Each structure stands twice: as C-alpha cells, then as structure tokens.
Amino acid sequence: MERKRVALVFFIALLTLSAAKPHVKQVYDGDTFSLSTGEQVRYIGVDAPEIDHQGDKSDFLAHEARVLNAKLVQGKPVRLEFDQERNDHHGRLLAYVFLENGDMVNEVLVRKGLARVLPNPPNLKYFSLLLDAQRRAMVERVGIWQKEPERPEHYYTGNSASYRFHRPSCRFGKAVSGRHRVRFESTYRAYWEGYSPCRQCKP
C-alpha cells in the first residue's frame, strides 16, 4: 500500500512539473513568439523575413517563415539558452531555442532558407554553426536564396565591428572607419561571410 502511495505521489509530481514547464503560446512571425509565462522571445543570431502586420507588402517568404516557426514550436515545450545579453531593447528574451529532440530552431530556420544569419556582437556563441547552415542553404538555393538581389551595386561596404554591410551611397557605410571597413563585390559574398544588410539602405 505504501509503495502505491509513493508511486502516486511521484506521478502527480511529474504531472505538475510538466504542466509548469513553459511552452510556446503564440507565434508572431518567423523569429518571434510568446511563452505561456507571458514573456516574448526573439530568436538570437537570426533574422526572418518581415511580415507587415498593417496589411502592406511583406518580405519575400515572410509568411512561409511564420508557418514553419509555428509548425516547429506552437504549443510545445522549449528550452531557452542565452548568450551574453539576455534581453533586447524591446525587453524581449534573446535566446537560442531548443526543441525536446535537441534541434535548435534558430538553426533549422536558417538551414531551410527561411531566416538568415544576424550577428549581434557580443552574442556570437553559435555564430559558426548558424553560418554553416546559411552557407548550405545558399549553395542549395533554398528559401530566400532562390531570389536574385534587387538593384545590385558594383560593390558593398562592410563593417567588421557590427557585421553589417551597406550600399556605397549609404551614410552609415561611409562612416565606417578604415580599420573596420571591408569591401564585398556582391551581396552573396557579404552573406557568405555572415554579414547582414543595413536596415536603412537595404542592399
């Protein structure tokens, strides 16, 4: 009788722990979701195409990125791993998100071509892993990599301190110091090295 009671208590404890474990409550887009705790999470190190929630034109494959994100995490328990900085300027948690099978969702999105690498120094713990996934997606031309760049330039200016690249006419690109200035002959080469496009000039 005593053994049955102990087993019952143990089973109830397991159920309680399972119920208390945070799970994904709502997926907003390809790189953001909210937890059952009410906290919002932004995938760190990656950037998915933007959805225009005002009804205007969204980025190429933005809705497909959201669908994949939801398929991977919606309603499921996840494990968050943090880097040097725990929150962004919006107060969202910055995290590498792992499924119960061990897969990192950040990497899966990049590998499927539905997100690209977004270095965010000093948060570079998995930069090499994510860049390797991006390079494979680029070679295979999956997802966003099947689309040719719009309005290509003769060259682009990269900033090795921020891992951003710019059009030649961009004021932010012109302000890059000589020791941090990197020249790329194409957006492909910039992406291959893990640089992310400037949000102002949108190369």
For residue 26, give the H/E element and its range.
strand 24-27
Both tokens of 80, joined, read 């968050």
- 172: exposed, middle or buried (C-beta count within 10 Å: 0-12, 13-18, 19+)? middle
**Exactly one of 39, 79, 86, 92 is catalytic; which is it?**
92
Both tokens of 152, joined, read 């290509």
- 71: exposed, middle or buried (C-beta count within 10 Å: 0-12, 13-18, 19+)? exposed
Determine whether 42 is an active site residue: yes
d(CA 69, CA 106): 9
3-state secondary structure of 177: coil
Q: Which residue has the tokens 């900085």?
A: 85
Determine whether 92 is an active site residue: yes
Paired residues of 46 in beta bridges: 117
Determine whether 3 is an active site residue: no
Q: Count of alpha carbons within 13 Å of 115, Cβ hemisphere only?
A: 29
**Exactly one of 2, 5, 39, 42 is catalytic; which is it?**
42
**Exactly one of 2, 3, 39, 50 is catalytic; which is it?**
50
- Catalytic residue numbers read 42, 50, 92
